[in-house]
Amino acid sequence: MPDSSPQLPAELAALLKEDRRFPPPPWFSTTAHVADAGVYERAAADPEGFWDEWARELEWYRPWERVLDWTPPHAKWFVGGQINVTVNCIDRHVRGARRNKAAIIWEGEPGDHRTLTYFDLYREVTSFANVLKSLGVARGDRVAIYLPLIPELAVAMLASARIGAVHSVVFGGFSAESLRDRINDAQAAVLITADGGYRRGQIVPLKRTADEAIREAPSIRHVIVVQRQAGAPIPVHIQEGRDHWYHRLMEDAPSGCEPERMDAEDMLYILYTSGTTGKPKGIVHTTAGYLVGIYATTKWVFDLRDEDVYWCTADIGWVTGHSYVVYGPLANGATVVMYEGAPDWPEKDRFWRIVERYGVTIFYTAPTAIRAFMRWGTDWPKRCKLDSLRLLGTVGEPINPEAWIWYYANIGGSRIPIVDTWWQTETGMIMITPLPGVTTLKPGSATRPFPGVSAAVLTTAGDRVEVGGGLLAITRPWPAMLRGIYGDPERYVRQYWTRWNDSTYFTGDGAKVDEDGYFWLLGRVDDVLNVAGHRIGTMEVESALVDHPRVAEAAVVGRSHELKGQAIAAFVTVKEGTQANPALADELKEHVVHKIGAIARPDEILFAADLPKTRSGKIMRRLLRDIAEGKTLGDTTTLADPAVVAKLKEKYEEEAG
């Protein structure tokens, strides 16, 4: 069991003293999907009935016999039902008034743009589904996707879902080794990539990285390569027989492809995320429950309506992009804005120019981005017309009240609500969130569980905390919940369902509840870091470090960081005869980037003669965290050699200057 004692930040007391309240503006409530707080009680009285009603809004081949089969900790939702996700995201819109409505408005970083209507999307997806079939991809096969944020990414996911294949999207910022490990774990048959993508004016050479990855990924039979810019290919190596250009394959592919009738519990996708060991977990999501959960939350949390222009800035390589760029909004027939690149390219007003250009009405981003905007100053948003906006959202990490207020005032013009949404790769859907037409907002609080969701703050012993802090638990199954960890059923049980009992889900987060029953999220209490809204396992970084020939031992901890939420601090001991110097520190940082990807680059490396350990040899991360945070050290009496930590602290303070 990892060291997972809750670390409750001290800011909380201060936060709870804040008495600023933001009731929903009347103009918003008047037209909102939900304007009556009675939904909470009605859903709580009959959660299965609540989800059953939502499921009726979707199009099924065969209705379900039972809403839920719950054999803790294994759930099946909409048992016996048959459905295809793409019929709900595309076909039913094409049949009606949304046929020529914009489904995806995409802008590339260099400034190119494309719009796909629902009918365009139908043709692209069904043609590409036929391409996949022609390459022998069958129902149940895994399809790995390693693409920049371009429309083909959504097309590839939907085409897989069309034919019952399981997609595994790997974020384009991951290294060749990370990609290789994910392909091998899922035994993917096909890889879809691109010649490259753009980030801050640079080309990200995806195909080159993919080539390196598949050298050791024997399950891959075919590689499909999207040309990022038609007619302007980025030079790549094409291996005859194995590699195929996307546009060539599409030339001959007929559109129209009979959707597979999927069982409610058939796998829809795998998405890898960091956990408390060195090996990422392949989170498994299935078909019907996931679709119901994200359909409902997208509609109510974002109060989504037909005339909205909805923009979630997340990369599709993360769960936020899966649920709230692709599946949720498309299931609702929305117009989705997608942007490929960086917020500060070519200038720091890029996001606001996009809002202005397309008349974005709903804008959903991460607190890290908001803190960057704060630092860049209000002149950038002021230059653009932002009055089309009617709702703002945040996700990915706790938002500090200062950032919340800044966002509210400078982007929202002090007139529109903010939904702070808490959820995880594992939950698939938003779990704790305001409903913008009914919830009075408190800056820094994600407020209350979505109707039909049951969350609680529990003590380590499992007692419910009515007011105060503890560990966040989900106490009832929910439709979009993960169904497992790919290929590792034991880890699923151990990781999520053994903290208290097998019907109480452990989130890994600390939280507090206040007198109004509002939840305040406090960050991870396990060995998972949240750096700029990205999940990174300390053990993953540690294994990357000890993989370096000159490293003997490594311990990685998070420390608070003004902009990124958390920064990565690595304590390293080197092997005999090795000179620990700044050049080696740089080399080690690069080594981590090479092994995992740039998102995991340590912010600082501290060389230590020894690491503090208990008498049984366990590294005391708690003490290292205290050192990295510059705090007074807690209890050191369980240490094998208390002098080690005193020396380390002294050294750290010296180097930190």
Q: Would you tell me which residues interact with ligand WTA (CB under 6 A)?
A: 273, 318-320, 395-398, 420-425, 446, 507-509, 521, 523-524, 530, 535
Q: Given the complex with ligand WTA, which of 81 and 469 has the nearer CB atom? A: 469
> Shortest approach of ligand WTA to residue 78 CB, angstroms?
23
Q: Which of 258, 317, 325, 319 is nearest to 285 (CA)?
A: 319
Q: Given the complex with ligand WTA, which of 9 and 359 has the nearer CB atom? A: 9
> Shortest approach of ligand WTA to residue 169 CB, angstroms?
13
> Shortest approach of ligand WTA to residue 521 CB, angstroms?
3
Q: Given the complex with ligand WTA, which of 407 and 422 has the nearer CB atom? A: 422
In a 13 Å sphere around the CA of 618, the CA atoms on its Cβ side amount to 10
DSSP assignment string, 327-379: IHHHHTT-EEEEE-S-TTSSSTTHHHHHHHHHT--EEEE-HHHHHHHHHH-TH
DSSP designation for 465: P
Q: Given the complex with ligand WTA, which of 313 and 530 has the nearer CB atom? A: 530
Q: Given the complex with ligand WTA, which of 276 and 424 has the nearer CB atom? A: 424
Q: Given the complex with ligand WTA, which of 94 and 284 has the nearer CB atom? A: 284
Residue type, 433: T
> Shortest approach of ligand WTA to residue 167 CB, angstroms?
17
Residue type, 18: E
Cβ count within 10 A of residue 562: 10
> Shortest approach of ligand WTA to residue 125 CB, angstroms?
25
Q: Given the complex with ligand WTA, which of 9 and 462 has the nearer CB atom? A: 9
> Shortest approach of ligand WTA to residue 549 CB, angstroms?
32
Partners of 534 in the β-ladder:
531
DSSP designation for 141: -
Phi, psi of 14 (to 5 degrees): -65, -45
* Cα–Cα dist 335/598, whole Å: 32
> Shortest approach of ligand WTA to residue 319 CB, angstroms?
5
Cβ-based neighbours of 376, under 8 Å, separated by 6 or more: 344, 348
* Cα–Cα dist 588/607, whole Å: 11
Using a CB cutoff of 8 Å and minimum separation of 24, what contacts does 250-253 make?
250/124, 250/127, 250/128, 250/131, 253/127, 253/128, 253/130, 253/131, 253/134
Q: Given the complex with ligand WTA, which of 107 and 303 has the nearer CB atom? A: 303
Distance of CA 32 to the CA centre of its chain: 27
Length of the chain: 657
> Shortest approach of ligand WTA to residue 395 CB, angstroms?
5
Peptide bond into 110 cis (omega under 30): no
> Shortest approach of ligand WTA to residue 577 CB, angstroms?
41
Cα-Cα-Cα-Cα torsion 156, 162, 167, 172, nearest 10 degrees, comes to 10
Q: Given the complex with ligand WTA, which of 431 and 606 has the nearer CB atom? A: 431
* Cα–Cα dist 498/494, whole Å: 5
Q: Given the complex with ligand WTA, which of 442 and 535 has the nearer CB atom? A: 535
Peptide bond into 73 cis (omega under 30): yes
> Shortest approach of ligand WTA to residue 318 CB, angstroms?
6
Q: Which of 560, 631, 272, 570 is nearest to 398 (CA)?
A: 560
Residue type, 214: I
> Shortest approach of ligand WTA to residue 283 CB, angstroms?
8
Q: Given the complex with ligand WTA, which of 318 and 492 has the nearer CB atom? A: 318
Q: Given the complex with ligand WTA, which of 355 and 446 has the nearer CB atom? A: 446
Q: Given the complex with ligand WTA, which of 449 and 508 has the nearer CB atom? A: 508
> Shortest approach of ligand WTA to residue 171 CB, angstroms?
11
> Shortest approach of ligand WTA to residue 70 CB, angstroms?
23
What would the 3-class secondary structure string for 78-124 be? EECCEECHHHHHHHHHHCCCCCCCEEEEEECCCCCEEEEEHHHHHHH
Q: Given the complex with ligand WTA, which of 471 and 545 has the nearer CB atom? A: 471
* Cα–Cα dist 466/240, whole Å: 64
> Shortest approach of ligand WTA to residue 537 CB, angstroms?
12
Convert 295-330 to b/e letters by CB count within 10 Å (16 or more is b).
bbbbbbbbbbbeebbbbbbbbbbbbbbbbbbbbbbb
* Cα–Cα dist 246/317, whole Å: 20
* Cα–Cα dist 361/388, whole Å: 5
Phi, psi of 162 (to 5 degrees): -60, -40
